[in-house]
Every structure is written in C-alpha cells, then in structure tokens.
Amino acid sequence: MEIIRTVISSYSELIKSNPIVAGLAGMYGMTVLLFVFKSIPMRILAFLKRQFTTTLLINNTSMGSNMESFNNFLRWFEKSKWTKFSRTLSLNGGWYEYGPKGEDGTVVGIGDGQHFCFYKGRPIWIFRRRLENTQSHHQINYEISITMLGRNRKIIEDMIEEFRYRRRPDKVGVFVFDTEWKRIGEVRKRDLKTVIIDPEVKAQIIAKIDKWLGSAEWHYDRGFAYKLTMLLHGIPGSGKTSLIKAIAGHYQKNLCLIHLASMSDILLRNALASVPDNSIIALEDFDDVDSIHARSGMGKNPYEGVTVPNKSEGLKLARPGDISVSASGVSISSKKAGPSEEGAEGKKESFFGITMSGMLNALDGLLSLDGTIIFMTTNRPEIFDPALMRKGRINETFNLGALRSPQVHEYIELMYPDLSYDRTIQFADIAGCNLEGHYKDNVGDPEKFIDILPKAQPQLSLITSEKS
C-alpha cells in the first residue's frame, strides 16, 4: 500500500514539474492496462456462456450415419415454423431415399451464419459454418452448432431423437472404398429363401457363419484370428452377389465392397483397417488382379512360390518392350534367361496395384481383421496362386454352379405358389441369371415361362440283343 502511495506522490510531483512528460507517461500506462485487461470481459462472457448454455455440434465430414444425421437435421429444421425467419438458405443434394414415398434426397436447409428458434420453450441459437482443411477431397464440409440456454441436457437429447439417423430395418447399408469408406446408399433386404441355389450349399454357408459368430472366445483363447473368409465360385450369373446381399440382410450387417483392380497394397491395408463396424466385406471378381494368379512353373504345393528373391540377380532395368499398359494398370514383364524358360509364359509383376505379398498380408498377415466376414467371388478359381488358396487364408470354398432341375422347380413354386403344372418335368441345367431373365420376360404367362425353359435330353439306352 505504501508503494502505491509513493508512486502516486511521485507522479503528482512529475505533473507539477513537467506536465508533458507526465501526460505521455499516463497515456503509456493506460495503454498497457487496456492491453493487459482487454480480454478479461470476453473471457468472462465465454465463461458465463459455457456455464449457462448447452451446445451440440454436428457435421458432415464423413459418410454414413454422421452425414445422414446432418442432413436429417436440415430437413427437421426446414419443416419447422422457424425456417421462414431464416434469410440464408442452402441446397443440399443427397443420394438417400427418404420416407415411404421415396422422395429424393434434396434438402433445402439453413445457410451459413446465425439462426434462431425456440424448442420446448427454450431459445436456441444455430450457427452453420464451412470447415476448412478437412481430409475429404470430394465434398465441402460444414459444421452446425446448436446452443440452448440452460444446462438441461435432456432437452438437447430430446431434440436429437427427433432428427437423428435411424437405420431402416428393411435396408442394408452399402459402402465402397475410395480413399475412405463412403456410404453410397442402401438396398432393400432380400430374404434368403428367394436366392435359389443348391440348398445343401446354402445350408452349409449359413451353418458355417452361425458357428463362427458364436466362437469368438474359442478363437481368442487359442490365439487364432477371429475372421471368416469364404470363396464363392461358379459360372457367371450363378447368384454369388445375390447370396452375399441376402446374407448381409439376414445377419443385420452392412455390405462393404472392394474392387481390387483399382486398389494398391496401401489402399487395401487402409480399407481393411477401417472397415465400418458390423459389416461384411465383399471382394468381387478378384481374379481381375493378375498378381494373384498362379505363377508359372508352380505345382500344387501351397507353399511353393513363397520364396526369398535370389540376391545374385540384383536389380534389373526394364526395357521399353517389357512395359505394357492395359485396363488393369501398368505392368512389367520379365523373363529369366536360360533353357528353363522354354515354353513358359513371362512372369508379370505389378508395377501399380495389388501385389501377392500385399494380398497375403491382407488375408492373414499384419491385419487381424478381428470379427470380420470376407466373401471373395470369382468365376475362375483354378487360376489363383496356391499360396492364396491355402487353408487359413480362405477358410471355406463353395461352388455355386448352374441350377439343376430341383432348383428350377423350387424357383417356379416360389414365383407361382398356386400354379398347377407337371412337376415331373426334368429341366436342363441353367444359370440363375438366365432363369430370372426368362421369368421377367414372361412374368404374366407361367405356361410360356415353363415351356421356354430348356429341358433335359432323354437318356438313351443301348439295347443289344444276342443272335440265337
């Protein structure tokens, strides 16, 4: 206190002796005080705001329920009576199917800036802003902050319940991977009984999945990776994709699609490391990737070909004639010199895209894929490298071939449950897609549909008679 009196006394003496210097010193002192204490009112205001308001933040920075909840809020607010007071609007396109009438996904919502409304008697301030420097390169991202006066979270939670995304029980979410997983839409669930394949094969697949779903602890206790990889092969149109979609719906799971021809080792690793929860992965037509085909000269030993490169070969510069560009990417063809090359095809190594080691690591290497079901589909299982087909990498293999006569009869009875027809007809084997095509062409004429289906040729018996 004595120090303050001394300072004031000294300043008074300075004013009397040199008023100009005293004025400058006073201005300097006031400037310092204002600079030091200028943020105090804002800090006090921010503190009071935090203590007496509740804020909810939502954004559209990722596909899936996050994006859908963001759009649902815009729709919810647009239907309220307060939207007519907003002077800044935005048009938000979407690919979702909203409502039972199947309206398109276009949403007219609030624009950037401040908006105001009341909810259950409480004032609500809504502020929408554009987010900068987000990881998504394919869309503009926004954030909406919803601030309510009061500390009662229950009111905010009630509001969330009114607009939050709810998964439709009759739909299967479909995701694809680009540089990140994106929800591209939903497909209607399909009953397993409508997928006509060999009933024994269908029963085996379902039994395998049911057993696997209940064996998590068994796998963990023994140190095994808790994943299930199944290969479905068969002629084109045999129902592989339809079966996978039906299984996803049957087990209430999302469907994640990966097209290996457009992937690299790093992208595949990132895709498998970030698979959305509760999903089935489908690697369709993965035979498009040349690097996982059987290597020339390999036998049936599943470990053959998994070797360490010969150090003596060193690095070789590819010649211009060795480089080719195709729809599957850029590849380098190289042939080992020597007589053993005679009659052998040139070995291709992927310059871009998936490599054999990348595929093997994806299936049973560095990534555990814990709790994941993977379906791989192909029309040509015989071309794959035995190392890829090893037990443990692919747990089960199922052949979905052409439909035989009993399955054709099952299909007819499914589509025409009240139809009376000759059930002794023996139909020829037919691809599922062709059977479905014939049905759609003759949906209103069951007799013509049955008549147009190929019939099995009668078996001819050779009868030899002995001459007496």
pLDDT digits (tens, 9 = 90+) for 322-364: 444 444 444 434 444 333 333 333 334 334 677 887 787 777 7
Phi first, then psi: give them for residue 351, nearest 5 degrees: -85, -40
CA 131 to the chain's CA centroid: 23
Residue with tokens 């303050």: 4
Say how far apart CA 19 and CA 27 lie, in whole Å: 12
147 SS3 class: strand
State the pLDDT at residue 45.
73
Could you tell me which of 182, 268, 267, 195 has the C-alpha nearest to residue 232?
195
pLDDT value at residue 295? 56
- Sketch out the chain's domains with CATH numbers: 7-48 (no CATH), 56-166 (no CATH), 172-290+354-399 (3.40.50.300), 405-452 (no CATH)
Task: Please give the distance of CA 352 from its chain centroid, rounded to a whole number.
Answer: 23
Q: Write out the H or E segment, with its range, that includes residue 181.
A: strand 181-188
Q: Which of 187, 185, 189 is nearest to 105 (CA)?
A: 185
Strand-pairing partners, residue 175, are: 183, 256
pLDDT of residue 214: 92
pTM of the model: 0.65
Rounded Cα–Cα distance for residues 95 and 103 (Å) = 10
Q: Which residue carries 């206190």 as its tokens? A: 1
Residue 133 region, left (φ>0) first, then alpha (ψ -120 to 50), else beta?
Answer: left
Rounded CA gap, 307 and 310, in Å?
9
Taking the C-alpha atoms of residue 434 and residue 236, their distance in angstroms, rounded to an integer, is 10
Per-residue pLDDT at 322: 44
The list of the chain residues with pLDDT below 70 reads: 1-5, 7-8, 10-26, 29, 33-38, 62-65, 92-107, 133-139, 285, 290-352, 365-368, 458-468
Cβ atoms 351, 330 nearer than 8 A: yes
* Burial state string for 241-261 with b = 16 or more CB within 10 A and e = fewer than 16: bbbbbbbbbbeebbbbbbebe
pLDDT at 293: 67
Measured CA distances, 450 to 39, 113, 166, 439 (Å)? 84, 64, 43, 9
Amino acid at 365: G
Q: Where are the beta strands (DSSP E) in 279-371?
A: 279-283, 323-326, 329-334, 347-350
